[in-house]
Chains A and B, each alone.
Chain A
């Protein structure tokens, strides 16, 4: 009787899930498959009659292109540096938010403001701020400096915009981790003579590991796909294109669906590898 009911419930559950699953397959599965199919063809909107299956030759083209590897390097650099800074800053902010006694709601709200601003709007703010003549930040620099016209200075500004924007998100995720650390454990450790630093490294960090892992994973995947900040700030000029920007330039600017889709598939593969590495290498305490 109960077994039969459980089975019925399970069947009902599957039926109830089915529409959502089908929609998910339609809206995510098909575009992915379609990109893979396009990446195996010469599919250039400017030569519609020359469309043909060409195997993996788009992959050879992209992977042997210096532009692709420059973009890859720039993306990796932006990802690593910005996520590292965000982790440290986010942890500090999380501690402040968690420990604040007065005006806790206000502190949390204020910290989250940058995350609530549309990225593109914020990016335009940064762009004008760094434009000589109009910008308050550019005016702090020695005269004649145009930081958005150099490669390294542009990358630094992109990283700054990313960090400013997403540190609150990092802090929010880390704060949920802090809430997992039982207060009595910290008190017991204090009783046993552990100082602040020891309590943080020996108790708080290990217990927070799942939360840190999730935060890092989310942010790394996000940062690797960086698009809007770069699009607004430099649009990839002076060798500052990220892989997503390069894919966009080839797809929309170049109208080359084959090459653009190949890049999209490569980005998907990179993201999958990042996720895999995170789970495998750091993931002993991954939430299951």
Chain B
């Protein structure tokens, strides 16, 4: 307690300046709320033995609020930021704006060593490494084994199972994030990837879409109009999806692994039937959405050497192990998954590792924020998707966004 208060006082006193009278360099970490991040920072501070001291600064809870605070301060050249906890989709934007430093030499080597390929790739922009992967995340298909014997492999499979369940008067919904927010863009991204395409070209400069997107939109429309669709589909975020299954209204959901711990806490009676499987696809297994967070170093940091050191410590195997066990954040270093303690928190850890092989990263572009906003706006509500018309609108609006001509609502 006393330590927390002192830390808070220190944070208040030194935010913005590098070092104080005791001569220890202060490194300001700006990170999304994470309950035990202080524990991880304390360990690094002990290891640093006076070379630096990490001050934990907590960003707002929602991703937009986090990004807004970071970009506002970076645009103003604020030297009070050293290590930045970034969502995996912000790398291109901050790198292109010149606000985060490239990782080179031994720092880059240490960030790459033993790190899973897909999470590592989210920290790369135009072939250069701009961040060190901290945690990853991947969606799986969750289902009630007391309602269906085997997990469906495709969206069509969920629709058919829902049809049968509905006819039998049982909970039938398959929850997907269909509200007008980033989740809808994430869903489209996985669907287009499952159909063999992508939203943007690999260099991120142009719109790809095309026939795979047409196919994906057709499946999304069919799904939103099927028996699997919750009537509140167009208002469903990850959390409503989780709650619908916990409330016993739904038989399936696509969601991040945190739903397992939540089910264990809220509905221990349902937990024995609560199973996971690979994210659904169109013809076969799907391409699950990839999430997570990376650590980057601000261009305006006055102590880059210590900041790189601090970031590397905050994401080293022991830090990642603590984050996984205490806060449920899936590690990005493969070896950490072998830890026996992890098996308790993550009985589905092999499924996560498998899913990370096929995960579909989100489009890499500095204007990801705009691209995701217009996709959500064009696709909402999913039941009203008219594949050729929607595809044309997507193509036009994403293309505008890529040329800074996009207007955000």
Q: Provide the B53-79 mask, 1 if CB < 8 A to any CB of A, else 0.
A: 000000000001001100110010000
- Of the listed residues B235, B406, B409, the one surrounded by the most CB atoms of chain A closer than 10 A to its CB is B409
Q: Provide the A222-242 mask, 1 if CB < 8 A to any CB of B, else 0.
A: 000000000000001111010
Cβ-based interface call for A165 (8 A): no
Q: Which residues of A contact B97 (CB under 8 A)?
A: 45-46, 48, 255
The total of chain B residues at the interface (CB under 8 A) is 24
Cα A65 to Cα B97 in complex, Å, equals 26
Which of A44, A238, A253 makes the CB contact (< 8 A) with B404?
A44
* A259 and chain B: residue at smallest CB distance: B407
List 17 A-B residue pairs with CB atoms under 8 Å apart, sorted by A's residue number. Answer: A42-B404, A44-B404, A45-B71, A46-B404, A48-B97, A50-B404, A61-B400, A67-B409, A68-B407, A149-B235, A238-B180, A239-B409, A246-B409, A252-B72, A253-B64, A255-B93, A255-B369
CB distance from A149 to the nearest CB of B (A): 6
Which of B68, B180, B366 makes the CB contact (< 8 A) with A46?
B366
Cα A50 to Cα B407 in complex, Å, equals 18
- Of the listed residues B377, B400, B405, the one surrounded by the most CB atoms of chain A closer than 10 A to its CB is B405
Cα A57 to Cα B400 in complex, Å, equals 12
- Whether the Cβ atoms of B404 and A70 lie closer than 8 Å is no
Cα A63 to Cα B408 in complex, Å, equals 13
Which of A45, A67, A237, A249 makes the CB contact (< 8 A) with B75?
A45
Cβ-based interface call for B98 (8 A): yes
- Whether the Cβ atoms of A256 and B72 lie closer than 8 Å is no
Cβ-based interface call for B367 (8 A): yes
List the 5 shortest-distance A-B pairs measured between CB atoms, nearest first. A65-B407, A46-B366, A67-B409, A44-B404, A249-B408
* A241 and chain B: residue at smallest CB distance: B409
Q: Considering the complex, which residues of chain B in the window 376-409 have a beta carbon less than 8 Å from any beta carbon of chain A?
A: 377, 400, 404-409
Q: Considering the complex, which residues of chain B in the window 156-181 have a beta carbon less than 8 Å from any beta carbon of chain A?
A: 180
Cβ-based interface call for B318 (8 A): no
- Whether the Cβ atoms of B98 and A254 lie closer than 8 Å is no
- Whether the Cβ atoms of B408 and A254 lie closer than 8 Å is yes
Cβ-based interface call for B146 (8 A): no
Q: Which residues of B contact A47 (CB under 8 A)?
A: 96, 366, 404
Q: Which residues of A contact B139 (CB under 8 A)?
A: none
* A239 and chain B: residue at smallest CB distance: B409
Which of A44, A48, A253 makes the CB contact (< 8 A) with B98?
A48
- Whether the Cβ atoms of B93 and A46 lie closer than 8 Å is yes
Cα A61 to Cα B404 in complex, Å, equals 10
- Of the listed residues B367, B369, B400, B407, the one surrounded by the most CB atoms of chain A closer than 10 A to its CB is B407
Q: Which residues of B contact A253 (CB under 8 A)?
A: 64, 67-68, 369, 408
* B403 and chain A: residue at smallest CB distance: A42
Q: Which residues of B contact A71 (CB under 8 A)?
A: 409
Q: Which residues of B contact A239 (CB under 8 A)?
A: 409
Q: Which residues of A contact B235 (CB under 8 A)?
A: 149
Cβ-based interface call for A131 (8 A): no
Q: Which residues of A contact B68 (CB under 8 A)?
A: 252-253
Cβ-based interface call for A210 (8 A): no
Cα A37 to Cα B67 in complex, Å, equals 27
Q: Considering the complex, which residues of chain B in the window 323-378 have a beta carbon less than 8 Å from any beta carbon of chain A?
A: 366-367, 369-370, 377
* A68 and chain B: residue at smallest CB distance: B407
Q: Which residues of A contact B93 (CB under 8 A)?
A: 46, 255
Q: Which residues of A contact B96 (CB under 8 A)?
A: 46-47
CB distance from A254 to the nearest CB of B (A): 5
Cβ-based interface call for A250 (8 A): yes
Cα A153 to Cα B348 in complex, Å, equals 43
Cβ-based interface call for A62 (8 A): yes
Cβ-based interface call for A258 (8 A): yes
* A70 and chain B: residue at smallest CB distance: B409
Q: Given contacts A47-B96, A67-B408, A68-B407, is CB(A254)–CB(B75) below 8 Å?
A: no
Cα A71 to Cα B75 in complex, Å, equals 27
Q: Considering the complex, which residues of chain B in the window 193-245 have a beta carbon less than 8 Å from any beta carbon of chain A?
A: 235
Q: Which residues of B contact A238 (CB under 8 A)?
A: 180
- Whether the Cβ atoms of A254 and B409 lie closer than 8 Å is no
* B92 and chain A: residue at smallest CB distance: A46
- Whether the Cβ atoms of A67 and B407 lie closer than 8 Å is yes
Cα A249 to Cα B370 in complex, Å, equals 10
Q: Provide the A146-173 mask, 1 if CB < 8 A to any CB of B, else 0.
A: 0001000000000000000000000000
* A62 and chain B: residue at smallest CB distance: B407
Q: Considering the complex, which residues of chain B in the window 21-55 have a beta carbon less than 8 Å from any beta carbon of chain A?
A: none
CB distance from A279 to the nearest CB of B (A): 32
